[in-house]
Amino acid sequence: MNDEVAPYLPEVEKGLHLIPTQATEHAGQLDHLYFALVGASAIILLMVVGLIAFFGFRYRAGNKAADRSNLPSTRTENRVEIAVLAAMLVAFMGFFAWATTLYLDSYRGPEPAMTIDVIGKQWMWKIQHPDGTREINAIHVPVDEVIRLRVTSQDVIHSFFVPAFRLKRDVVPGTEKTAWFKATEPGEYRLFCAEYCGSFHSRMLGKVVVMDRGDYQAWLTRQGSGQTLASAGKQLFQAHGCSGCHMGKSNARAPSLDGLYGRSVALDSGEVILADEAYIRDSILQPDKHIAAGYEPIMPSFAGQLSEEDILRIVTYIKSLQPGDWVKESVKENEGESR
């Protein structure tokens, strides 16, 4: 096996399943919509075929019913056509509203209990939990908890797909997608890459392990806590010299990052933008895209210098900063220098 292939390939459940298991509430809602659409399509198909057969037989050549004098009036035909078209319009606009609601819900989601980072790489899924626990091709989560996934790709286009959750996100290098789910049934569910990504695409398999809360906590304890994303991000932040400008230790003027996440930021262009994860990521990779008001565009781009994992760590660190954190850091460093 190629060295780049994931060292761990989980077993997948055997057997043919026409409809995947429903392991989330959202999966059941999507299935209801799917079966409703199939049922509506079947009804329309039967109506069309039935009417073709009926009229073909009734108005066949030689039959008295084919005499045009026996045909209904044009006015009656128009009423029937308008009524049928109006009924179909109302029905399918209802389907449209139903599908739109489910689609928006699949992206908005409720407040998550935790955020798990997922990075697609030829040919494996790399996972990191909030406490620093890492996995490859497996995601352990507690049942009945809202889980938010932050998904990105390190190399080529991948597609994160869990059929039992009816969850699918295409991930493109240099971008970040989010997804959420709330698993309702403990068990193991298959994880695929649904986008061809190279020679060993078919081996890019994984699983989501849904556990009772007690079992999940026991599993976390057995793994042992590793370095959190925020602490790892802080080290990277300092190693790449970011603290030199943003902590006010040089002549370079840089905006404060205290409590940046979720705050409105005034831009040099006169616009006001929300400092979300996308804004922080763009500021790292494309610093000239959104220039903060009152500051010169002197920050270099770190595109190509940081891996996707490193970017996620730095973004998490900046998100964790609270008002006054830079002051505390400066005081600690000054005390250390004076000693």
Question: Which CATH number covers residue 177?
Answer: 2.60.40.420
Judge whether 4 lies within some domain: no
Whether 131 and 219 share a structural domain: yes
Whether 95 and 127 share a structural domain: no
- Token pair, residue 72, equals 């209904």
Judge whether 70 lies within some domain: no
pLDDT 10s digits, 57-69: 877 776 666 565 5
**21 has pLDDT over 50:** yes
- Percent above pLDDT 90 for the chain: 33
Average pLDDT rounded to a whole number, residues 75-99: 86
CB-CB contact of 234 with 310 (8 Å): no
* pLDDT tier at 318, thresholds 50, 70, 90: confident
Instruction: Note the pLDDT of residue 287.
Output: 85
What's the mean pLDDT when you consider all of the chain? 82
Whether 123 and 98 share a structural domain: no
Instruction: Note the pLDDT of residue 10.
Output: 47
Range(s) of the domain holding residue 272: 226-338
**Domain closes at, from 174, 206, 224:** 224
Whether 249 and 196 share a structural domain: no
10 Å CB burial of residue 267 (0-12, 13-18, 19+) is: middle
Judge whether 17 lies within some domain: no
Whether 300 and 328 share a structural domain: yes
CA dist 256 → 98, 212, 242 (Å): 44, 42, 12
pTM of the model: 0.70
Whether 240 and 330 share a structural domain: yes
Report the number of distinct structural domains present in the chain.
3
Whether 333 and 233 share a structural domain: yes
CB-CB contact of 272 with 264 (8 Å): yes
d(CA 311, CA 313): 5
**Domain closes at, from 203, 224, 245:** 224
Judge whether 321 lies within some domain: yes
d(CA 318, CA 315): 5
Residue 153: φ, ψ to 5°: -125, 145
Judge whether 265 lies within some domain: yes
- Lowest mean pLDDT of 16-20, 122-126, 322-326, name the range: 322-326
Q: Helix 25-58 vs helix 74-108: angle between axes, to the nearest 10 degrees? A: 160
> Could you tell me which of 152, 153, 145 has the C-alpha nearest to residue 213?
145
Whether 231 and 219 share a structural domain: no
SS3 assignment for 161-228: EEHHHCEEEEECCCCEEEEEEEECCCEEEEEEECCCCCCCHHHCEEEEEEECHHHHHHHHHHHCCCCC
Instruction: Note the pLDDT of residue 157.
Output: 93
Whether 240 and 197 share a structural domain: no
**Domain closes at, from 208, 224, 240:** 224
10 Å CB burial of residue 149 (0-12, 13-18, 19+) is: buried
Judge whether 13 lies within some domain: no
CATH number at 303 reads 1.10.760.10
* pLDDT tier at 72, thresholds 50, 70, 90: low
3-class SS of residue 3: coil
* pLDDT tier at 326, thresholds 50, 70, 90: low
CA dist 74 → 15, 56, 68, 176 (Å): 57, 20, 12, 58
**12 has pLDDT over 60:** no
- Token pair, residue 233, equals 């991000």
Whether 332 and 263 share a structural domain: yes
Judge whether 2 lies within some domain: no
Whether 135 and 42 share a structural domain: no
Judge whether 30 lies within some domain: yes
* pLDDT tier at 146, thresholds 50, 70, 90: very high
Whether 102 and 145 share a structural domain: no
**339 has pLDDT over 80:** no
d(CA 184, CA 209): 12
* pLDDT tier at 246, thresholds 50, 70, 90: confident
* pLDDT tier at 258, thresholds 50, 70, 90: confident
Instruction: Note the pLDDT of residue 261.
Output: 84
